[in-house]
Structure 1
Amino acid sequence: MSEVVVYRRRTVVSLVMMLFALALGAGGYLLTSLNQNGTFPADWLMSAGPLQFGGPWYLGLAAWFALGLACWGVTAWRLPYADPLILPTAFLLAGLGISMIYRLDQADGKRSAELQMLWLFLAVAAFIALVVWLRDHRRLQRYTYLWFLAGFLLLLAPLVPGLGKENHGARIWIEVGPFSFQPAEIARIVLSIAFAAYLVEKKDVLALAGRRFLGIDFPRARDLGPILIAWGFSLVILVFQKDLGTTLLFFGLFVAMLYVATERPSWAILGTLMILGLGVLGYNAFGHVQTRFESWLNPFTDYDRNGQVINAQFGFAWGGLFGSGWGDGRPYLTPLAKNDFIGAAIGEELGLFGLCAMVLLFGVIVARVLRAALGSAEGFGKLLATGLAFVFALQVFVILGGITRLLPLTGLTTPFVSQGGSSLVSNFLLLGLMLTVTHQVRRPHVEHAGSGEYVSLSAEATQALPVVVGPRTGATAAGAAAEVPVTPDEAPLPAGPAAEPRPDPVDFGGEAPEPLPSHAEPPAPTEDGEEPR
């Protein structure tokens, strides 16, 4: 018997949540102007070099709604079974970020919010292009070493003379004409794909146990090559680019995916020790890293050098639990409040509850992608979803830990919220990959009884509509399978070779006993009471 597990598309639910997210973003934009000026916003203008366009404020809101609904429409068309929570949550975070950037513009007179809207146009265009082109993430598995090459070249691009640019002590930017961006933002996505494809092939070898120490099976010495290469490359980034954040993000991603692929805690232990080694080396070798560690441990000893951290802590104190009110605080006193410290600005005006709500929104995205990873029936999708979720969560943890003094500052941006074109575009590309993986996991599959070969996310029982083929349904197995639309780029992977027939039993000589007929009775016992052999 065959069974078709059908998941609801949740199209209406996703649309309602998207409209709610867009309305909250628009409300924050309008509330800022009302609290600051007592009127609706003035005309808006977006400009990038010679390109300029704008109009009344309500046209800006119309563009905001149009971008969100365009993303939702393309996703509903190309990825109808994608997770319904991820896209609205991402736009809710983006709306929160643009509203806060616009609020900070009221203090310095700049038009950073309009520029962020222009970058949002480009990010949405990149998102739509990815979703239309890539409907099945398994196509990415074919180019493992090309992904590695592209990722390494992106990470090393800032070291090229005349192309790289140093900012705040770290050489992580490249400048092309009037534009500059961080190639590491794209490299984290490319390397997530490369690590997933590589570990699918090598996980069985890397999972072999070597020596046992304190009850833990550590890997063999011959299998330490991949993690040593990753550690060495991270060391190159730390030495030449002086960027501790990118170093920890890159190496931490590889260690996490290696642990998930092999299920060996020894890899996590070794990776943690090597990360600590990178931190100690960076502290002793580079004054820039040492300054950030001292600002983390003793920020109030030097206000001139640690003004960012000190003002952020005062902002949290002024905000309290409920915040000073949207547009009523003074977050502009913190340097880089639109970039690295936008979380501190949100904490001041929305309070601890508002900051925790933002963290919960990030947690929703991570949890839904990890849920898809658990439900994936093929190794590459499982590892890719895990890598995307981890690199996203690690970036949020590192930047929010830095502004709250849980960790040293690293210079990373808050996804979807901070000002920055490269960050926004790369996060929307990351969003497209997340939705592609969840679509493949949740879309209907035909499950053959007893094989378990193509199983959907059966744990999500409240959204599953099992269609059991039988006399009561009046359907056939072929008819039920035909109801599931499968396009060429979504077709399941080909099955393995057919099983060979079992060989004939080995002849050990002698005459084989004749089988008893089904109606025959067993032979009677002999005269001495023994049963015949």
Structure 2
Amino acid sequence: MSTVTTHVTKTRRNTELVLLAFAIGIVLLAYANVGMAVQDTVPADLGTLGIGIGVLALVFHLVLRWRAAYADPLLLPIATLLNGLGLVMIHRIDLAKGEDISEGFALRQLEWSALASIAAMVLLVLIKDHRLLSRYTFTLGLTGLGLLLLPLLPVIGKNVNGSRIWIGFGGFNLQPGEIAKITLTIFFAAYLVQTRDALSLVGRRVLGFPLPRARDLGPIMIAWLASLGVLVFQKDLGSSLLFFGLFVAMLYVATERRAWIAIGLTLFAVGTVVAWKLFAHLQERVTLWLDPFAPGQSDQIAKGLMGMAAGGMFGTGLGQGRPEETYYANSDFIMTSFGEELGLIGVMALLVLYALIVERGLRTGIGARDGFGKLLATGLAFSLALQVFVVVGGVTRVIPLTGLTTPFMSAGGSSLLANWVIVALLLRISDQARRPDVQESGNASIGQDETQVVKVR
């Protein structure tokens, strides 16, 4: 006699569609609120914006039904909401500076949003299995290294605000480090899957603390030297912290050895202290961090702090503050702009949205059925978490200001493109993680909130 066990798995695509509609409604409400507060009228292009965002979101949703029916249902709505709110704040700051939609940063941000989401959809269609990426381990590693070195080249390399992290040709500017973040994460995941057994071995014990073998310290030393190179030659503290922190975190996840965290923190602390002693630009950052109100230096952090203080708990209201008085209020300091007009509650809501993306990414890593997928999803989620921490920590004086952008919200095409690609990769991995092992032949392409029945005898 045979026993039949039925396991029901839902695709949750209808749930995603409802959440998308809710996210777009919030964005349009915020956009109308800004128009009423600044111009005393509902924006004439409200409907056009709603149709544009709605069409992009709907097409993305349909691509998921077609190519990744079991993908996580929360990632796309949250990314759409964050992207849309960032667009609203950029438009609000444009209006404060007397620039209309055709002159300011908002139109460019909208164009980059469309391009980034289309790139994410193309990636989902082309990459049917994330494990294919592990075949190009060293190719992607070399690509990431090359992208990091591009800003150091003459002619195309550009120095902006003291950091050499941009390249430019014609009227087009790009921050290649944002793309390198993704290629290096894939490289780290593939490399650590291959070497984690050796890296997990324990060498000598110091004060009862197990340390790795000396012969296995090579990878972390190379990552440390590379991050110091970014810090010294490109004068970019944020990217240096992001890349090294990402590698150490993935190394710990791969090996489950706390010694790697201790070694990584020690190496980074030593490196930053030495660099601070030797280089003036780091000394300026630390001085600004310790005393942002001191005379004779930039008052950027001071203005950001005063703006958030003016917002208080509930904020001044969208369109009713003065966030434009802070330098780079639409990019590096967009979080202080939200803090002033939405208050502490609004900022906490935004941080909860970021925490949800990270949580879903980590959940995807736990559910992935292969080691490469587990490490890749974990690394991508951690890169977003670390970037948000570095940005928010910088504008609130928890750590020195780094100049990184807030994912999905800050003005800038490079960051927007990279973060949408990260969402696409997490969607691809989550589709495999949530997809049933066995499918009935008649239900091979489910695109609704239907149930997939798997029978095991």
Structure 1 pair 4–137 and aligned structure 2 pair: CA distance change class (3 A): farther
CA contact (8 A) 2:331 2:411 kept: yes
SS of the residue 1:445 aligns to: coil
CA contact (8 A) 1:329 1:349 kept: yes
CA distance in 2, matches of 1:369, 1:63: 28
How far does the alpha carbon of each residue in 1:39-76 deviate from its partner, in whole angstroms, 9 at most, with x for none?
Answer: 1225xxxxxxxxxxxxx442232112111112111122
Cross-structure match for 1:241: 234
1:212-223 equivalences under 5 Å are 212-223=205-216
SS of the residue 2:340 aligns to: helix
Cross-structure match for 1:337: 329
Question: Is residue 2:9 matched to residue 1:20?
Answer: no
Offset of residue 3 of structure 1:
6.1
Cross-structure match for 1:254: 247
**Structure possessing the higher relative contact order (Cα contacts under 8 Å, 6 or more residues apart):** 2
Offset of residue 136 of structure 1:
1.0
CA distance in 1, matches of 2:451, 2:382: 27
Offset of residue 205 of structure 1:
0.4
Offset of residue 245 of structure 1:
0.8
Structure 1 pair 208–105 and aligned structure 2 pair: CA distance change class (3 A): same
Offset of residue 190 of structure 1:
0.5
- The one of 335, 347, 355 aligned to 1:355: 347
How far does the alpha carbon of each residue in 1:283-339 deviate from its partner, in whole angstroms, 9 at most, with x for none?
Answer: 11221111111111111112x523110011111111000001111111111110001
- The one of 204, 209, 215 aligned to 1:211: 204
Offset of residue 359 of structure 1:
0.3
CA distance in 1, matches of 2:396, 2:350: 14
SS of the residue 2:331 aligns to: coil
Q: Which amino acid aligns with 2:389?
A: F
CA contact (8 A) 1:172 1:184 kept: yes
CA contact (8 A) 1:242 1:286 kept: no
- The one of 385, 388, 406 aligned to 1:393: 385
Question: Is residue 2:143 matched to residue 1:150?
Answer: yes
How far does the alpha carbon of each residue in 1:110-147 deviate from its partner, in whole angstroms, 9 at most, with x for none?
Answer: 32111111111111221111011012100101111001
Cross-structure match for 2:107: 114
Cross-structure match for 1:176: 169
Question: Is residue 2:60 matched to residue 1:71?
Answer: yes
| TM-score normalized by the length of structure 2 | 0.94
Offset of residue 221 of structure 1:
0.5
SS of the residue 1:165 aligns to: strand
CA contact (8 A) 2:364 2:426 kept: no
CA distance in 2, matches of 1:268, 1:212: 16
1:14-53 equivalences under 5 Å are 14-42=16-44
Q: Which amino acid aligns with 1:66?
A: V
Cross-structure match for 2:11: 9
CA distance in 2, matches of 1:329, 1:339: 17
CA distance in 2, matches of 1:84, 1:119: 23
Cross-structure match for 1:202: 195
Q: Which amino acid aligns with 1:175?
A: G
Cross-structure match for 2:131: 138
CA contact (8 A) 2:391 2:401 kept: yes
Q: Per residue, is there more helix in 1 or in 2?
A: 2
How far does the alpha carbon of each residue in 1:330-377 deviate from its partner, in whole angstroms, 9 at most, with x for none?
Answer: 111111000100000000000000000000000000001101111222
1:415-434 equivalences under 5 Å are 415-434=407-426
Aligned identity (percent) is: 49
Structure 1 pair 344–212 and aligned structure 2 pair: CA distance change class (3 A): same
Offset of residue 216 of structure 1:
2.0
CA distance in 2, matches of 1:135, 1:465: 20
CA distance in 1, matches of 2:451, 2:290: 51
Offset of residue 109 of structure 1:
2.3
Question: Is residue 2:373 matched to residue 1:371?
Answer: no
CA contact (8 A) 1:2 1:446 kept: no
Offset of residue 4 of structure 1:
6.8
Cross-structure match for 1:99: 88
CA contact (8 A) 2:224 2:267 kept: yes
Question: Is residue 2:51 matched to residue 1:62?
Answer: yes
CA distance in 2, matches of 1:249, 1:2: 50
Offset of residue 152 of structure 1:
0.2
Question: Is residue 2:294 matched to residue 1:301?
Answer: yes
Cross-structure match for 1:529: none
Cross-structure match for 1:438: 430
CA contact (8 A) 2:436 2:454 kept: no
CA contact (8 A) 2:157 2:166 kept: yes
Q: Which amino acid aligns with 2:395?
A: I
CA distance in 2, matches of 1:7, 1:178: 49
CA contact (8 A) 2:408 2:419 kept: yes
Cross-structure match for 1:84: 73
Offset of residue 281 of structure 1:
2.2
Structure 1 pair 183–202 and aligned structure 2 pair: CA distance change class (3 A): same
Cross-structure match for 2:443: none
- The one of 105, 118, 122 aligned to 1:125: 118
CA contact (8 A) 1:5 1:445 kept: no
Structure 1 pair 284–211 and aligned structure 2 pair: CA distance change class (3 A): same
Offset of residue 282 of structure 1:
2.4
Cross-structure match for 1:279: 272
How far does the alpha carbon of each residue in 1:452-479 deviate from its partner, in whole angstroms, 9 at most, with x for none?
Answer: xxxxxxxxxxx9977454xxxxxxx5xx
SS of the residue 2:84 aligns to: helix
CA distance in 1, matches of 2:7, 2:364: 16
SS of the residue 1:417 aligns to: coil
CA distance in 2, matches of 1:394, 1:4: 41
| Structure 2 runs not aligned, ≥5 long | 440-449
CA distance in 2, matches of 1:355, 1:97: 13
Query: What is the total number of aligned residue pairs between the two structures?
Result: 441
Offset of residue 278 of structure 1:
2.2
SS of the residue 2:293 aligns to: helix
Cross-structure match for 1:408: 400
CA distance in 2, matches of 1:411, 1:2: 58
SS of the residue 1:328 aligns to: coil
